[in-house]
Structure 1
């Protein structure tokens, strides 16, 4: 394998990941009628132990989304009466994001379609394939979260530009 071929594989892999994310977003919207972020918020808030809610900051960190993106999604979900923001009992300035009873009922009503979505989306995967794929996605997420090109990279780019 040539050096150019080996450099092309990561580019193809990350581009395919980008495409897959876009297909997922489109299919969730088309088939479920909600965005992937709304789906993730409902799923996160429906987990055991979060009945009283979760802080906005914790939710952004858990979902790996920006504050601005999450705020816009929560505003739409509040209008639909699926979530509400309540004062944090320990910090009056902070808010907890909480699933409403209507939001929980909505989440429950989606479960059969979610199961079918997963079944169809993973139909080409064996159980072992799914476990391995999850393992590799976890490794990729871990490594991506630790990327730090630092200022040394930027300085190198500036030096190259000056030559």
Structure 2
């Protein structure tokens, strides 16, 4: 029986890479009062304010409980407000506050700095190829069962 070589495992490497990215991002956005899960949510709301919790779940590929906890913290911290959806009594829309809008530039600058640092060892062409390959793998995972067996 041959030993499992984690350096040849896409799952292991992706997980490790994601942890390191999250740690670096957290260090950079913590002074803004943000955590990575809040930043991901804000990215979606900065792109389209007023999304429902269900829409956020679908866009971020997270569990219901995780999103509920993240939104509760964001509401507590004055980053979002939730209002009843005008056409669906069961749904709530999530809206950015002025405080959250004010964080867009510094938070995205911090994320871009983290990306630049992480990709610094690659040429511009390699960076483009790396990002393209990651997008393709993500699309494959989403089209399949999302990795759930």
TM-score range relative to shorter protein:
0.7 to 0.9
**Paired residue for 2:16?**
19
CA distance in 1, matches of 2:51, 2:6: 40
Given the superposition, is the C-alpha separation of residues 148 and 138 from structure 1 closer, same or farther in structure 2, using an over 3 Å criterion?
closer
Question: Are positions 1:88 and 2:85 aligned together?
Answer: yes
- When normalised by structure 2's length, the TM-score is 0.83
SS at match of 2:112: helix
**Paired residue for 1:45?**
45
Do the aligned partners of 1:25 and 1:35 also contact (CA within 8 Å) in 2?
Answer: no
How far apart are residue 28 of structure 1 and its match? 1.8
- When normalised by structure 1's length, the TM-score is 0.76
Greater Rg by CA: 1
**Aligned residue-pair number:** 145
Unmatched runs of 5 consecutive residues or more in structure 1: 154-163
CA RMSD of aligned residues (A): 2.6
Within-5 A mapping of 1:135-154: 135-145=132-142, 146-147=144-145
Do the aligned partners of 1:45 and 1:99 also contact (CA within 8 Å) in 2?
Answer: yes
Which of residues 99, 104, 113 is equivalent to 2:101? 104
Do the aligned partners of 1:28 and 1:36 also contact (CA within 8 Å) in 2?
Answer: yes
Which of residues 127, 130, 133 is equivalent to 1:130? 127
